[in-house]
Structure 1
């Protein structure tokens, strides 16, 4: 993931590796490139999906790029013949144009998507493809309740501006953006997954690995514990555990696949 500081905890992120990685595999299955020679996985994280890319195209030269040292440490343990690069996406370019830029659940962290998508497009060789997946669930209770908690008097001043309202646009906006960037084959769709979670406070544990990381960068110790306690109580009332022990977590995502 591309962030200004390394606040990612790979172990926390991997608690729900199955449902977390499924959208990335679904994205990979729709990439319209037969035999790409060079591939970049933007925000590769722990590298598990980069391995899936390698399994599909074993002859390709693949680079996994991420800002997080903790995530890349996990990625390197795979021992795969992949170039792992620690870098800031907004300033990084591959050494030569690539045939596929793949990015799963990363770009929602970054502002100014017109500039970001233009930057990614600039990495592509002629006929190259861009494949992007982003969460689009920022109006879901998990995120609304997080922002409501952050806006309470105890936290309002310290957490002002930490949580963005809606960083991901709708399909129309991305179609227009990709068209303006010169893509002629554009495929956009949305899917709402029903993640089947188990364990205590599973939605809280999920967002601890992603959406709560900006809060954790500001709050620690007793303050962090107090914030989590307030927020967790709201989540329990909304995401109710079923009699069989399962908690359903609806999660909408947008997929963008385009080729020049």
Structure 2
């Protein structure tokens, strides 16, 4: 991919808009679905749009909806969202290695907009990446997510109340659809999901549902990482011995 010239800021910004347009298109159905499910969870249109504006993290927002629907407290939702989004710290740190030197406030601005898709597009560029380019990718994706979250909520309001209530299963179907592809690729994901489900079922009997989710997630992740057998080293015996030392 062509290296961006940071000296030509308008060109870099519009280049970012162009590259981010595919993300914006991909966000449309996901955002509409989020808005619709938020409406079935009795969030107002304003609350739905504000969540997309201030959180801007699809998986975390879907998780938050399930906790809101279950009547979970705000503190548990905040902690759960934090843990779900921990990977964003790593993505931001990685992108910072490629990004041009700039004012910390400018970097903080686009760091807020680093999602999985935006990170993938911006990090694929060769060489140094300008702040203008990153903002271009971020802004068009952000506008799409926020705008279509509101559209989804509006569409949901137009449906009969009986149909709205019957379609609340969409949230659980969405989580299953996100989980299944990972299960096919990694055995560890299956063990992690099953362990978390069992632990959550036990913890929910003695604590609030939100804290049960958080504790089950942390313990299952730590446990699976601890007991998962290490990949065998494909080195010669003498090399393996020195590596173990």
Same-fold status (TM-score > 0.5): no
Tell me which protein shows more strand as a share of its residues. Answer: 1
- Give the number of the structure whose residues are more often helix, by fraction: 2
TM-score band (shorter)? Answer: under 0.3
Larger radius of gyration: 2
**TM-score using structure 2 length:** 0.27
